[in-house]
Amino acid sequence: MSLLEVDDLAIHFGGVKAVDGISFAVEPGEVFAIIGPNGAGKSTIFNLISRIYEPTRGRIRFDGQDITRLRAHDIARLGIARTFQNIELFDHSTVLANLLMGRHSHRATNVVQDILFLPKVRREERAHRRKVEEVIEFLELEAYRGKMIAGLPYGVRKVVEIGRALAIGPRLILLDEPASGLSVEETQDMAFWIEDMRREMGLTVLMVEHDMSLVTQVCDRVLAVANGRPLALGTPAEVQGHPDVQAAYLGTERAS
Amino acid sequence: MRVIFKTSYDRDIDLHEHGWERARMALLLGVMALLPFVLGEYYLAEAVNTLIWALAGMGLMIAVGHTGQVSLGHAAFLAVGAYAEAALMNAGLPFLVSFPLAGLIAGVFGGLIALPAARMSGIYLAIATLAVFVIVEELVILLEPITGGVGGQMAPSITILGIGFDRYGALANFYWLCLAVVALTTWGYANLLRSPTGRAFLAVRDSEVSARALGVNVTRTRALAFGLSAGVTGLAGALMGHYIGYFNYELFSIFISINLLLVVTIGGLGSIQGAFLGAILITGVPQLIAILRDNLKAGVGIDLSAVPGLDTLIFSLILIGFIIYEPTGLYGRWLKLRAWIELFPLARRDMFRRQKSYLKTERMR
Amino acid sequence: MELLQLAVGGLANGCIYGLVALGFVMIYKASEGVNFAQGDMMMLGAFVALGLGNGDHLGLPFVLAVPLAMAVMFCVGWGVERVVVRRIFGQPQFALVILTIAMGFVFRFVAGAVFGYTPLVMETPYGGQNLNLGGVVIGYADLIAIAVTIVLTVALWAFFAFTRIGLAAQAASQNQLAAYIVGVPVMRVNSLIWGLSGAVATVAGVLYASRGAIDPNIGLLGIKAFAAAVIGGLGSLPGALLGGLIVGLVEPIAGRYAPGEVAQMSPYILMLVVLLTRPSGLISQVQMKKV
């Protein structure tokens, strides 16, 4: 059974059909990419899956469960984590606090217990910290643990955001342009981490990406979209060779 | 610079990073507890006033500093707390029951307002709180049987286990009572900040959309924070009622709301310490002005008391100065100063330079 | 008949609320900030006009005093933006809220120090003259308030919709960096808008003063005008006027049928209802954050 099934998804902003009839299914353990030119509706698809936007029509199913009508804050508990195109970290907190925030969907204490800081709260905090330390080790963030986000370089922030998503302990992770703004070396690291997420953590990865070298390197299957409509679905090589995709995405000069 | 070797996660979870800090806190509390033996009646009363303002400031800090919800109407919760306390005590409840209950009433009231208001963001919430303030002010006049209407209300004197805590009869006792309330609240507040709830508050403040993606129910978190904020401010209101003794709606004017904002902004948004520094400033400056006024009159012959509204003007200018030159407030300035001393002589000017930033709208078109 | 009489007074009041609300909306449109000193700018404008025009002060003719006061307040608004507001560029929205509240207190202090705190009456050519229309008595001051407000609203709307500077101001409010890059002089546009709002506030102040006495605390009317702006929709000029008129009408009518406290509350209750049902006002703009 597919882990994530998107069926005939559409959202219209006024008259603009940002996403219009997109369907795909992501299998467990797969690395799946959505590509397309700017404004094709890739990030909108992410925002629909993470329930920030209300779809005009269509269904989203996760692990057999219909999540189309769930609220945005219920998504994390199911095991879906995401990152954002423009990095949405908590700028005035430390890296550690940001990662601990990722554990929020697992919290087991209420506000009264928190204010009194009962022994249970401390136990929970230690457990969260252990999980977060695993993520820190995995992403090699040890040097930045106590640093404020606001002072960190862009590439590190990008990694911290992925760390925060991993701290959720997800089964599916949505990466919105993980390589944008990264140097060639950093993009290479990203490729290895995505590989490791799949192999070591058993994660399923759904990503939006412009960098075709990263896509061909790590992805099993690719969906190309343009103007909110699907163009082609297949292996990276198949999709890249598809004439419609070349026309819409890679530029007409190569198609001619 | 001090280097701390952390050998367990508890070092990060504990309130204080090392024993010296804990000792300093205990020392401060000890000195505060000894104040009644040192200070005269007048200055002790001022110290009580400062404690009450610090309590109210902590209340507002939860909303403004830690969840980014600006309230222009927090005087309304002071009023709710004060009137609820007076009404409950007049109904015969002992202080130990009525006081927490007054805070609870203010808190529930705040939470109920915030639940729909939490869906609004930024400026709209500020406006809504302003509206709530005006409505509460008028309600106080309308609900004469409970509040005494325009005439006012008397806060009964406090007795716990036969010991008097009256503001006039036993000022030292009243001071210790306020100190205990403030100390407990500070402890609870600090606990909150190191717990999942406090992290959720910060998350909602810094990035609503990613808080949501991490599983934070933003509406409920905002309402909870605002409710807690109103509750703590309500406690301060209850104490303020006892401190003033006999009060009417004029005690809780819009200027009090503004002064509270001044406390948290000048003190330093997002830090508990800021609420205290702000409270010291707002209760201390009028004293300084009074002393200055007397000296000028006696020494130079200039009579400043002929200029009405001088206090407000000075507060306004201080506020404008801080917002322009030191938006992180007194506490932020202190942190920079401390960093400079610790790094001396290696600190560089540019370390604290603010980044240029641009306004980006949240509107889509 | 009585209701009609109340309505006329309410309309004139509403126009003044509307004009102050226009000032809020202009600044909001240009920089997405809210100027809580708008009410105090109205107060200051009224006092400047009074100081220029009244016989016991400078004694200039009314038709000269008002434009001069507008010019003075244009400079005050412009200067406030240049000297103070510009420096907190990029700080969170509420920094401007607190800053302008503090500035309002400074204005109030200045007016109080110069003119004192006893209510003063402005001398106008049309003061105290009435028109009797079949039992309904309408003051000339009311009529002029209504007429001036309508003309001014249309003019400002046209300014934002059609002129280069108006369009530039709108662009600047949506993304300052982008507007700056495409060549909009963001800073200069902002100063200009603050100046304009000062001039508009002066008109509101003069209209207010011609209908009654003024003292340095009339700036508190700004809060009510603010409610009006929110009811109409913070981003919309016609909305501001509509909100002002609604508040102006609701107040006397509520006062007629309910205790005075309820009348005092009515604008704010109305505002809360609008905020809860249509959070962006009656005439709204799309509000959503892009991620």
> Within an 8 Å CB–CB cutoff, is residue C177 touching chain A?
no
pLDDT at position C258 is 79
pLDDT at position B168 is 79
Residue B350 has pLDDT above 60, yes or no: no
Residue A167 has pLDDT above 60, yes or no: yes
Asked if the Cβ–Cβ distance from B127 to C112 is below 8 Å, we say no
CA angle C269, C275, C277 (to 5 degrees): 100
- Tell me the Cα Rg of chain C: 19
Closest chain B residue by Cα to residue A121:
B195
Q: Which residue has the tokens 């970290």?
A: A89
Q: Which residue has the tokens 């009159």?
A: B297
What is the domain-level CATH number for residue B241?
Answer: 1.10.3470
* Rounded CA separation B329/B318 (Å): 11
Asked if the Cβ–Cβ distance from C95 to B258 is below 8 Å, we say no
> Which of B129, B353, B359 to mutate against chain C (most C CBs within 10 Å)?
B359
At B62, the amino acid letter reads I
Percentage of the residues of chain C whose pLDDT score is greater than 70:
93
Q: Which residue has the tokens 């401190």?
A: B243
Tokens encoding B55: 């309590």
Count other C-beta atoms under 10 Å from residue B33's C-beta: 14
- Cβ(B121)–Cβ(B362) below 8 Å: yes
What is the nearest CA distance from A188 to chain C, expressed in angstroms? 26
Residue A253 has pLDDT above 60, yes or no: no
> Which of A51, A67, A104, A109 to mutate against chain B (most B CBs within 10 Å)?
A104
* Rounded CA separation B289/B281 (Å): 12
Closest chain C residue by Cα to residue B120:
C279
What is the nearest CA distance from C205 to chain A, expressed in angstroms? 42
- Sign of the four-CA dihedral B220, B226, B231, B234: negative
Asked if the Cβ–Cβ distance from B142 to C262 is below 8 Å, we say yes
Residue B356 has pLDDT above 60, yes or no: no
Q: How confident is the model at residue B303 (pLDDT cuts 50, 70, 90)?
A: low
Q: Which residues of B touch C279 (CB under 8 A)?
A: 119-120, 124
Q: Which residues of C touch B327 (CB under 8 A)?
A: 88, 91, 95
Q: Which residues of A touch C291 (CB under 8 A)?
A: 43, 47, 52, 84-86, 88
Nearest to C87 among B123, B324, B361 (CB): B324
Q: Which residues of B touch C276 (CB under 8 A)?
A: 116
Tokens encoding C139: 């003051």
* Rounded CA separation B362/B356 (Å): 19
pLDDT tens figures, B208-237: 889 989 989 988 898 899 999 999 999 999
pLDDT at position B231 is 95
Q: How far is CA B255 from the centre of its chain?
A: 14
pLDDT at position B349 is 59
Tokens encoding C271: 């505002």
* Rounded CA separation B73/B80 (Å): 12
Tokens encoding B305: 């008391």
> Within an 8 Å CB–CB cutoff, is residue C291 touching chain A?
yes
Closest residue by Cα to residue C199 from C68, C6, C17, C51: C68
Helix (H) or strand (E) holding A33: strand A31-35
pLDDT at position A194 is 92
* Rounded CA separation C142/C208 (Å): 9
- Cβ(A221)–Cβ(A235) below 8 Å: yes
3-class secondary-structure state, position B363: coil
Residue A205 has pLDDT above 90, yes or no: yes
Q: Which residues of A touch C289 (CB under 8 A)?
A: none
Q: How confident is the model at residue B119 (pLDDT cuts 50, 70, 90)?
A: low
pLDDT tens figures, B2-43: 566 677 777 777 777 667 778 888 898 888 888 888 888 888
Mean pLDDT (chain C) is 83
Residue B305 has pLDDT above 70, yes or no: no
Tokens encoding C54: 């009244």
pLDDT at position B324 is 82
3-class secondary-structure state, position A204: strand
Asked if the Cβ–Cβ distance from C261 to B308 is below 8 Å, we say no
- CB-based contacts of A49: which residues, under 8 Å, 6+ apart? A4, A6, A60, A80, A174, A206
Asked if the Cβ–Cβ distance from A117 to B210 is below 8 Å, we say no
- Cβ(B323)–Cβ(C88) below 8 Å: yes
Question: Residue A26's beta-bridge partner residues?
Answer: A4
3-class secondary-structure state, position B296: helix
Percentage of the residues of chain B whose pLDDT score is greater than 90:
24
Residue B181 has pLDDT above 90, yes or no: yes
* Rounded CA separation B201/C284 (Å): 29
Residue B353 has pLDDT above 70, yes or no: no
pLDDT at position C32 is 74
Q: Which residues of C touch A87 (CB under 8 A)?
A: none
pLDDT at position B50 is 93
B245 φψ region: left (φ > 0), alpha (ψ -120 to 50), beta (else): left
Count other C-beta atoms under 10 Å from residue C111's C-beta: 24
What is the nearest CA distance from A55 to chain B, expressed in angstroms? 17
Q: What is the mean pLDDT of residues B69-94?
A: 89
Tokens encoding A64: 């057999």
Q: How far is CA A180 from the centre of its chain?
A: 13
- What domains are defined for chain A? 1-79+171-256 (3.40.50.300), 90-169 (no CATH)
A57-62 sheet: strands from edge to edge: A16-26, A4-13, A57-62, A65-66
pLDDT at position A247 is 79
Asked if the Cβ–Cβ distance from B197 to A114 is below 8 Å, we say yes
> Which of C177, C285, C289, C291 to mutate against chain A (most A CBs within 10 Å)?
C291
Residue C34 has pLDDT above 80, yes or no: yes
Closest residue by Cα to residue B233 from B75, B72, B51: B75
- CB-based contacts of B16: which residues, under 8 Å, 6+ apart? B22, B25
Which carries the bigger pLDDT value, residue A237 or residue B298?
A237
* Rounded CA separation B323/C103 (Å): 12
Tokens encoding C165: 């500077």
Tokens encoding A236: 């990276």
pLDDT at position B255 is 81
| B5 assigned to some structural domain | no
pLDDT at position B81 is 93
Which carries the bigger pLDDT value, residue B165 or residue B60?
B60
| B8 assigned to some structural domain | no
Question: Residue A233's beta-bridge partner residues?
Answer: A223
Q: Which residues of C touch A47 (CB under 8 A)?
A: 291
Asked if the Cβ–Cβ distance from B319 to C98 is below 8 Å, we say yes
pLDDT at position B20 is 79
Give exposure, B49-67, as e/b (b: 16+ Cβ within 10 Å).
Answer: bbbbbbbbbbbbbbbbbbb
Q: Which residues of B touch A82 (CB under 8 A)?
A: 213
Q: What is the mean pLDDT of residues B35-59?
A: 90
pLDDT at position C279 is 66
Number of separate domains in chain B = 1
- Cβ(C58)–Cβ(C123) below 8 Å: no
Q: How confident is the model at residue A28 (pLDDT cuts 50, 70, 90)?
A: very high
| B361 assigned to some structural domain | no
Residue A161 has pLDDT above 90, yes or no: yes
Residue B270 has pLDDT above 50, yes or no: yes
Which stretch, A14-23, A171-180, C84-93, has highest mean pLDDT? A171-180
Closest chain B residue by Cα to residue A97:
B199
- Cβ(B75)–Cβ(B253) below 8 Å: yes
What is the nearest CA distance from C285 to chain B, expressed in angstroms? 8
Query: Can you give the pTM of this predicted structure?
Result: 0.86
pLDDT tens figures, B273-291: 889 999 998 888 888 888 8
Residue C271 has pLDDT above 80, yes or no: yes
Q: Which residues of C touch B313 (CB under 8 A)?
A: 105-106, 109
pLDDT at position C289 is 44
What is the nearest CA distance from C290 to chain A, expressed in angstroms? 10
Q: Which residues of A touch B228 (CB under 8 A)?
A: 111
Q: Which residues of C touch B69 (CB under 8 A)?
A: none
pLDDT at position C169 is 78
| B166 assigned to some structural domain | yes
- Cβ(C274)–Cβ(C267) below 8 Å: no
Tokens encoding C48: 């400047």
Which carries the bigger pLDDT value, residue B185 or residue C258?
B185
Predicted ipTM beyond 0.95: no
Closest residue by Cα to residue C40 from C126, C90, C99, C82: C99
Which chains border B (3 or more CB–CB pairs < 8 Å)? A, C
* Rounded CA separation A81/A174 (Å): 6
Nearest to B195 among A71, A117, A164 (CB): A117
Asked if the Cβ–Cβ distance from A97 to B202 is below 8 Å, we say yes
Prior bond to B94 cis, omega within 30? no
- CB-based contacts of A201: which residues, under 8 Å, 6+ apart? A166
**Backbone phi, psi, residue B252, to 5°:** -110, 65
Q: What is the mean pLDDT of residues A195-207?
A: 91
CA angle A138, A140, A143 (to 5 degrees): 145
- Cβ(B60)–Cβ(B260) below 8 Å: yes
Pairing status of strand C136-139 against strand C130-133: antiparallel
Give exposure, C167-203, as e/b (b: 16+ Cβ within 10 Å).
Answer: ebbbbbbbbbeebeeeebebeebbbbbbbbbbbbbbb
Tokens encoding B52: 């009450």
> Which of C40, C82, C88, C101 to mutate against chain B (most B CBs within 10 Å)?
C101
Closest residue by Cα to residue C250 from C236, C266, C265, C235: C266
Asked if the Cβ–Cβ distance from B323 to C287 is below 8 Å, we say no
Helix (H) or strand (E) holding A223: strand A221-226
pLDDT at position B361 is 40
Residue C172 has pLDDT above 90, yes or no: no
3-class secondary-structure state, position A253: helix
Domain encompassing residue B52: 20-350
3-class secondary-structure state, position C213: coil
What is the nearest CA distance from B315 to chain A, expressed in angstroms? 28
Closest residue by Cα to residue C213 from C104, C109, C118, C112: C118
Tally the residues of chain B. 365
Helix (H) or strand (E) holding A17: strand A16-26
Please list the alpha-helical segments (H only) found in B156-217.
171-193, 196-206, 208-213
At B304, the amino acid letter reads L
Tokens encoding B175: 């001071």
Tokens encoding A211: 């960098």
